Chain A
Amino acid sequence: MNSCIGFILDEKLIEIDFSKERKFTPTTTVLNYLRDLPNHKGVKEGCAEGDCGACTIVIAELDGRNGLQYRAVNSCLIFLPKLHGKWLITVENIKNPDGSLHPVQQAMVDYHGSQCGFCTPGFIMSMFALYKSNLPNTRAVIEDALTGNLCRCTGYQPIIEAAEFALQDRKPDHFSKIEKEIIAILKKIVLKSMQMATDRQKYFMPVSVTELLYIKNQNPDAIIINGASDIALRVTKKYELIPSIIDTMQIEELHVIRKSIDHLYCGSAITLNQLMEVSREWYPAIYEACSVFGSKQIREMATIGGNLGTASPIGDLPPVLAAYKTDVVVVSEKGARIIPVDEFICGYRKTSLKKGEIIKGIKIPKPMDGTIIKFYKVSKRKDLDISTVSAAFRLTPDKEKKINEIKIIFGGMAEMTKHAVKTEKFLKGKSRTRETIEQAMPILEEEFTPISDARSSAQFRSVIAKNLLLRFFDDLADT
C-alpha cells in the first residue's frame, strides 16, 4: 500500500511519506503544516475552525481540460492527504518573482483594503482565486468569494473596491507562465489507492467505490470523509484521535455530474460549490440555498454526501432537496437502493443508511413547467450563518390556479427536516387567496413545537414559520 503523498509547494514537488514521517500525521491540518515551516508564516491563524478565513490558501489542480483550476479553501480544515496531486499556493507565492506586487495585492494597497493586516493574506488568497477564475467581477461574485473572510477593522468597503479594480482586467500573471511546467509535474503524481498508517491511525484513500466498500467492510468503524470540514474540527478543537478514516477524494465515480433530459445526477463527493453552479438553470431554489450556505471556502470543501450524512436539523440543503423530490442513491456491497430524501433523514442527526451502505449520489428530477419552488432562510447575518429557520416550498397550480400540489418543508423547526403535513393537506385543492393562507397559518403553528436555543426563541420560530408561508404566497402574487 502506498503511504506517500506528493504535492507542489513553492514550485517544488514535496513528498510526505507517513510511514516514515514523525512530525506530521495524516490528520495534521495544512495550516499546522504551513505554520511549522519557516517561510510560510504569512498564512495566519485567526480561529482554526473555518470561521474567519485568515488561513485561506489556494489549491490548484488539473481541471481535466489540460488547464488548472484554482480554489480558495481554509487551510485549517484540510488534512494533508488532501493535497495529493495538487499545487498548494500561499500568500508568500503571490507576489511577482522580482518582488513587485501581483495586481490583487497592489489593489489592496492602493484602495487601502488592509488596516491591521492580519486578515489580509486570507483576503489576498480569495481574491487571487477569483482572479484566476473566469467569473465576472460583479459585486455579487466578489461578495460571494469574500464571504468567508472576516475583517474587524476596515468595514470591507475598501476591500470590495480593491477587488473590483483588480478583477477588471485580468492579464496573465506569473502563475500563467509556469502553468505548463506545473501541469507536467502534477500529471506525474499518480493517483492511486493509498493507505497512510501511523501507530494509532489509518487513513485510506481508495480509488473506486468497490474498494471503498471493501475497506469499510474491513473497518466498520471507519469514518468516511469527503470535504471533512466537520471532522477536522473534531481533530483540531476536541483533540480527538480518529483511528480510521476513509477519504473519498480520489474516487471518480463519486465526482460525477450528469444532466439528462429530466433529471440531474450528482455524485456524493460533488462540492456544494459545484452543485450551486450546475443548479443555476433548472433548480434556482437549490442555487439560492447553496449561495447562502457558509462561505465559498467552506462550499469548496463541503459535499452533498457530507451534508446529507450529518442529517443536521438545521441543515439548509435537505429542505430544498426535498422540495425538488430528490432521491438519494445509496450502495453497499449487496447493491444499490434509492431513498427519497425526506425518508433518508429519519431523526435527529439520523439517516436511514444501513450498515455497510454509503451515499453514492443524488438524483434531482427536473420540475414540470409551472411548478414553483422557493427557498427561504432566516438568520442574523447574511451568510456564513447557520439558519434559525429555513423553509422550502413547492407549488403546482392547476388550470384554475388552484393548489394542485403543495410541499412545505422546514429546517430548524423540529429535531429534523420536516414536512408541514397537515398544512399541506389543508391547502391542497384550495384556491390561492389570502384568506386560505391565513386559515392555514394556525394549522401550521399547531403542527410544530420548536425549541428555544441560543439562536432564537421557540415563539419566534413559530411566528417566522407562518410568516414564511405568507411570504411564499406573496412572492407568488408577484410572479
Chain B
Amino acid sequence: MAESKYVKSKIFFEEEFEEKLAEVPTDPKGPWPANDNLKIIGKPVSRIDGYDKVSGTAVYTFDINLPRMAQARILRSAVPHAKIKKIDTGKAESLPGVLGILSSNNAQEIKWFNTSSLFDTHLRYQGDEIACVVAESEAIALKALKLIKIEFDELPFTVDAKEAMGEKAPKIYDEGNIQGGKPFEYARGDVDKAFQEADAIVEDTFDTQVAIHNPTEVHCSVVNWDGDDLTVWDSTQAIYGVRDTVADALKMPASKVRIIKKYMGGGFGSKLECGKYTVMAALLARKIGRPVRIVVDRKEMNLAVGNRPNSVQKLKLAASKDGTLTAISHYSYGAIGGYEGGAGCSWPARQMYKCDNVKVEEYSVFTNTGPTRPFRAPGYPQGIFALDSAIDMLAEKIRMNPLEFRMKNNAEKHPMWNAPFTSKLLKEAYEQGAKAIGWDKRNNQPGADKGPVKKGMGMASQIWWGGGGPPSHAVLKLNRDGSARVIAGTQDLGTGTYTFMAQIVHEVLDIPMDKIEVILGDTAVGPYCPSSGGSTTAPSVSPAVRDAAENMKIKLLEAAAAQLESEKKNLVYVNGLISDTSNPEKKIDIPGLMGKMGEQTITTTGSREANPEGYITQTFGAQFAKVEVDTLTGKIKVNKIVAAHDIGRVLNRKTLDNQFHGGIMQGLSYALMEEQIVDINTGKVVNTNLHDYKIPIIADIPEIEVIIVSEADPMNSNTGVKGCGEPAIIPTAAAIANAVYNAIGVRIKSLPMTPDKVLMALNQA
C-alpha cells in the first residue's frame, strides 16, 4: 500500500519558480503506454458537465440565491488619483432598504496589496474601492452608492509608463514609480562584444496594448455566516488561495472558512486571487446577520479586476552569416497600475532560442491605471510578438528562411541553466506545422501580390512552462454498487477538469463514466490542489487521480486475494472483473467483492509525484498564419492558423481542441482588435463595455488546425501530461504579424494591428 514522503520540489507558477515542500508518493506509478493503447485517455470524450451547461441547470456563483440574501455593490473612484478627505454616507444610510455601508469611516484596517488597505483613502486609479453598500436589492444598493458624498483632493496623475518613469511625473509612492526602485536585470555572455562581431543586426521598438480578461461570468461572491463558520461561494480559480486570504483578512482560523466553486464562467487569470469584494461581503454579512451576494459589473470588470499590462520593448538582435543567433538585447517597460504587479515580458528573449549572449533590462512602472493580473501566459504573447517579429527581420537580413533560422537556433538544453528537458519536440512542431500550412508555397518577396488585397504567410514559436508538480492530491471513494466518487481540491474553469478526472478513474478501474461522480471546488471536502493557473491543473492533478485509482486497484486485488483465497500475483483486473489466472473458476466483480466487505465505501488517496531533479519541463510549439490584407481599408483577415505543439499527453481530444481554439482566438483578438483605451487627458478608461472593448464574434474565426506532436512526457509524471491552455495563445499574434509583413512588405510593430495602423503604415512606406 502506498505511503508517502516529503520532498522539496521546484515548480514554475505563472512568472516565477517556487520551491515547495510537498507530500509525494513513495511508489510512483509507471508511465502509461501510448494513447492508442489506452481505452479512453486521449479520445474525444464529451464533457460530463455538458448536460448541466446546455440545459441551463448549471448553477454558477452568479446564480446562488440564499434565503434572506442581501445584495452588495461597491463605490469606486471616478478619478485616477485623489486623497479622500471625507466620506458622508448619511443620505445613503437613510435610503429605505439600505442595510449597511462600509468605508474607511468604519471598516477595520485590513492590509491589502502590501502597500494599501481594504479601504484606502489614497485612491490610485479610476476604479479604486471607496465604499461598499449592502441593501435589500441591487437596485437599492446602486441608488445608495449615488447618495454617498465624497470630498477629496484630486492629485496630479500619470497614466503612461514612460511619463511615470520620468523625474517630473507625479509620484504614486514616495519611493518613486519604478517598482522595487530598479529594473529587473538578466545577462549571460557578452552582448556588446557579440554586437561588435555580428554580421547582421536588427534593432527596433515594439509596443503592445493593455488587454482585459473579460470572462463571461463577472467576478462575484456569495457569503454566509453560520455562527462563526463562514461559507463563501466564489467565482475563483483558487479556492485554497481565497480561503487563506479571507481567513487572514478576518483574522480567523482557515478551518472556519469554506470556499465553494462548482461552475464558473471563465477566468483566464483574472480570478487567480481573492478580490477585495469577497472580504467586504463577508464583513457586511457578519454586520447585518444575513447572507450577502456581491457582484462586480461589466464596467468594473473593465476597470478594476486586472489586465494584461502594456509593453514597450526595444529589441536588438544579432546573427552571423551562417544563421547563428549571437545576441539578444531586450529593454522594456510597462504600466502596472497603482499597486504591486508585473509588466515583465522578457522570458521569451531569455529562453526561447539558443543564444549565448543575452541582456535584459525591464521596468514595472506604477501608474494611475487599473491593476495587472496574470492573463493567459503573462508576459509571453507580448514578449513573443516582439521577439519573433525581430527574428523574422533578422532572418530576412541574412537572407535566410525564417523557419530555417528558427530550426537552426533551437535550444537542445535550457539556455539559461544548461539543463536538459524532460521532453522537447519543438523541431517536430516546426516541421509538421510548416507542412500543414504549406510553408514551401510561401511568397518569398513580401508585398509582391498584385491588386489591393495581398496574401501572406508567417510563423512564430512558443515556449511556456506547464509541467505542474506537487503538492496535489486526490481522494477516491468506491461504493458498494461499484460507483465511485473522486474528490480533489482543484477547480474547473470550464477547461475540462471534471471530465479528465472521470476519464482517468475509468481508464484504471473500468468503472463506467456515468457511475463516476467528480467533486471539486470545495475546500471542506477536497484535499489540497494548487490554484488553476499556469497551465498546471491537468499536469498536477491528473497524476494524483491516477495514483488514487491505481491504489484502489491494489486494494481491490488484496481484498480479492483474501476473498478468493488466491495468491495476489495470480490475480488480474480486467474490465472491472478480478480473476485468478491459475483457476478460471475464481473470479469476482467489484460489487460482489465489496458486498463481502464490512465497509460500505472504501477510500484511497493519491498524490502527484515530485518533478525529476535536474530537469526542466516546458511546453513548446509553433503557429503558422495565413492572412490577407486589404491595402485600401487596412483590414487584416486571418484565413488559417496551424498550431503544432508539444504539450505532452493529450487527455481528451475534445477539451484539448477547445483549449487551443479558444486560446488561438484570444491570440487573434489580441493581435487585431482588443485594447483598453485610456484618455491621457482625464486618466479615465474610454471603453468599459463589451461594445467598445472588442472581442471576436463568430464571424471572425479563421480555419484552425491543431496538431499535437507529442505522445507523452513520461519523465514528468505518471500521466505524462503537460499543460495546454496558455501555449495556445502565445505565438498567435506574432505569427499573424509576420504574415502581415509577408503580405504587404511593411511591418506593423504595434498591437493591436487595427485598420488605421495598417493603412497609416502603408501610407508612410
Residues of A within 8 A of B (CB): 38, 41-52, 54, 90-92, 94-95, 101, 105-106, 108-110, 112, 114-121, 124, 142-143, 146-160, 239, 295, 378, 380-386, 388, 454, 456-457, 459-460, 463-464, 467-468, 470-471, 474
Tell me which residues across on chain A come within 8 A of B701, comparing CB atoms.
155-157, 160
Contact call A457/B47, Cβ cutoff below 8 A: no
Given contacts A143-B699, A239-B146, 12 further A-B contacts (CB under 8 A): A42-B55, A47-B689, A95-B55, A109-B51, A109-B54, A117-B263, A119-B265, A143-B698, A152-B666, A155-B658, A159-B698, A383-B699
Tell me which residues across on chain B come within 8 A of A474, comparing CB atoms.
452, 632
| Cα(A422)–Cα(B691), bound, Å | 35
Selecting from B57-65, B174-182, B221-229, the interface stretch reads B57-65
Contact call B654/A149, Cβ cutoff below 8 A: no
Contact call A115/B495, Cβ cutoff below 8 A: yes
User: Which of B59, B139, B297, B755 has the most C-beta atoms of chain A within 10 angstroms of its own C-beta?
Assistant: B755
Contact call B216/A151, Cβ cutoff below 8 A: yes
Contact call B661/A158, Cβ cutoff below 8 A: yes
Tell me which residues across on chain B come within 8 A of A114, comparing CB atoms.
47, 50, 53-54
Measured between C-beta atoms, what is the minimum distance from B210 to chain A in Å? Answer: 13
Residues of B within 8 A of A (CB): 44, 46-47, 49-60, 62-63, 65, 139, 142-143, 146, 214-218, 263-266, 268, 297-298, 452, 493-496, 632-635, 654-655, 657-658, 660-666, 672-673, 677, 686-687, 689-692, 694-701, 704, 752, 754-756, 759-760, 763
Contact call A109/B699, Cβ cutoff below 8 A: no
Closest A residue to B267 by CB, please name it.
A116
Tell me which residues across on chain A come within 8 A of B142, comparing CB atoms.
239
Measured between C-beta atoms, what is the minimum distance from B262 to chain A in Å? Answer: 11
Tell me which residues across on chain A come within 8 A of B55, comparing CB atoms.
42, 91-92, 94-95, 101, 105
Tell me which residues across on chain A come within 8 A of B696, comparing CB atoms.
156, 381
Measured between C-beta atoms, what is the minimum distance from B703 to chain A in Å? Answer: 9
Contact call A467/B266, Cβ cutoff below 8 A: no
Question: Which of A115, A295, A385 has a CB less than 8 Å from the CB of B658?
Answer: A115
| Cα(A464)–Cα(B139), bound, Å | 44
Contact call B633/A378, Cβ cutoff below 8 A: yes
Contact call A112/B655, Cβ cutoff below 8 A: yes
Tell me which residues across on chain A come within 8 A of B690, comparing CB atoms.
46-47, 49, 51-52, 150
Measured between C-beta atoms, what is the minimum distance from A462 to chain B in Å? Answer: 10
| Cα(A120)–Cα(B216), bound, Å | 10
Contact call A468/B633, Cβ cutoff below 8 A: yes
Measured between C-beta atoms, what is the minimum distance from B293 to chain A in Å? Answer: 12
| Cα(A348)–Cα(B90), bound, Å | 41
Closest B residue to A385 by CB, please name it.
B694
| Cα(A118)–Cα(B265), bound, Å | 5
Contact call A471/B632, Cβ cutoff below 8 A: yes
Closest B residue to A381 by CB, please name it.
B694
Question: Which of B56, B268, B704, B756 has a CB less than 8 Å from the CB of A121?
Answer: B56
Q: A118-B217, A467-B633 are in contact. Are A154 and B658 (CB under 8 A)?
A: yes
| Cα(A468)–Cα(B672), bound, Å | 21
Question: Which of B57, B452, B654 has a CB less than 8 Å from the CB of A471?
Answer: B452
| Cα(A142)–Cα(B698), bound, Å | 9
Measured between C-beta atoms, what is the minimum distance from A330 to chain B in Å? Answer: 30
Question: Which of B49, B214, B655, B689 has a CB less than 8 Å from the CB of A152?
Answer: B214
Tell me which residues across on chain B come within 8 A of A91, comparing CB atoms.
55-56
Contact call B691/A51, Cβ cutoff below 8 A: yes
Contact call A382/B51, Cβ cutoff below 8 A: no
| Cα(A216)–Cα(B691), bound, Å | 33
Question: Which of B62, B139, B496, B663 has a CB less than 8 Å from the CB of A44?
Answer: B62
Contact call A112/B633, Cβ cutoff below 8 A: no
Tell me which residues across on chain A come within 8 A of B216, comparing CB atoms.
44, 46, 52, 54, 116, 118-119, 150-153
Measured between C-beta atoms, what is the minimum distance from A415 to chain B in Å? Answer: 20
Q: A152-B268, A156-B661 are in contact. Are A115 and B755 (CB under 8 A)?
A: no
| Cα(A156)–Cα(B697), bound, Å | 8
Tell me which residues across on chain B come within 8 A of A108, comparing CB atoms.
50, 54
Question: Which of A101, A149, A378, A468 has a CB less than 8 Å from the CB of B51?
Answer: A101
Tell me which residues across on chain A come within 8 A of B56, comparing CB atoms.
41-43, 90-92, 94, 121, 124
Question: Which of B59, B60, B139, B266 has a CB less than 8 Å from the CB of A153?
Answer: B266
Q: A116-B265, A118-B265 are in contact. Are A154 and B697 (CB under 8 A)?
A: no
Question: Which of B65, B695, B704 has a CB less than 8 Å from the CB of A150?
Answer: B695
Contact call A464/B495, Cβ cutoff below 8 A: no
Contact call A155/B704, Cβ cutoff below 8 A: yes
29 A–B contact pairs at CB < 8 A? A38-B65, A42-B55, A44-B62, A46-B265, A52-B216, A106-B54, A109-B46, A110-B46, A112-B44, A112-B47, A114-B47, A115-B266, A115-B495, A115-B662, A116-B266, A117-B54, A117-B494, A119-B265, A142-B698, A149-B698, A152-B215, A153-B662, A155-B661, A157-B661, A159-B698, A378-B755, A381-B673, A383-B697, A463-B759
Tell me which residues across on chain B come within 8 A of A147, comparing CB atoms.
697-699
Q: A383-B699, A454-B686 are in contact. Are A468 and B265 (CB under 8 A)?
A: no
Q: A150-B695, A464-B755 are in contact. Are A155 and B54 (CB under 8 A)?
A: no
| Cα(A106)–Cα(B142), bound, Å | 40
Q: A105-B55, A150-B216 are in contact. Are A471 and B633 (CB under 8 A)?
A: yes
Tell me which residues across on chain B come within 8 A of A116, comparing CB atoms.
215-217, 263-266, 493-494
Contact call B689/A155, Cβ cutoff below 8 A: no
Contact call B661/A146, Cβ cutoff below 8 A: no
Measured between C-beta atoms, what is the minimum distance from A451 to chain B in Å? Answer: 13
Measured between C-beta atoms, what is the minimum distance from B139 to chain A in Å? Answer: 8
Closest B residue to A466 by CB, please name it.
B632
Measured between C-beta atoms, what is the minimum distance from B533 to chain A in Å? Answer: 15
User: Which of A149, A154, A157, A384 has the most C-beta atoms of chain B within 10 angstroms of its own C-beta?
Assistant: A157
| Cα(A157)–Cα(B666), bound, Å | 13
| Cα(A101)–Cα(B56), bound, Å | 11
| Cα(A160)–Cα(B702), bound, Å | 12
Measured between C-beta atoms, what is the minimum distance from B759 to chain A in Å? Answer: 6
Contact call A117/B53, Cβ cutoff below 8 A: yes
Measured between C-beta atoms, what is the minimum distance from B76 to chain A in Å? Answer: 15
Tell me which residues across on chain B come within 8 A of A383, comparing CB atoms.
697, 699
Closest A residue to B655 by CB, please name it.
A112
Contact call A117/B52, Cβ cutoff below 8 A: yes
Tell me which residues across on chain B come within 8 A of A46, comparing CB atoms.
216-218, 265, 298, 690
Contact call A158/B657, Cβ cutoff below 8 A: yes
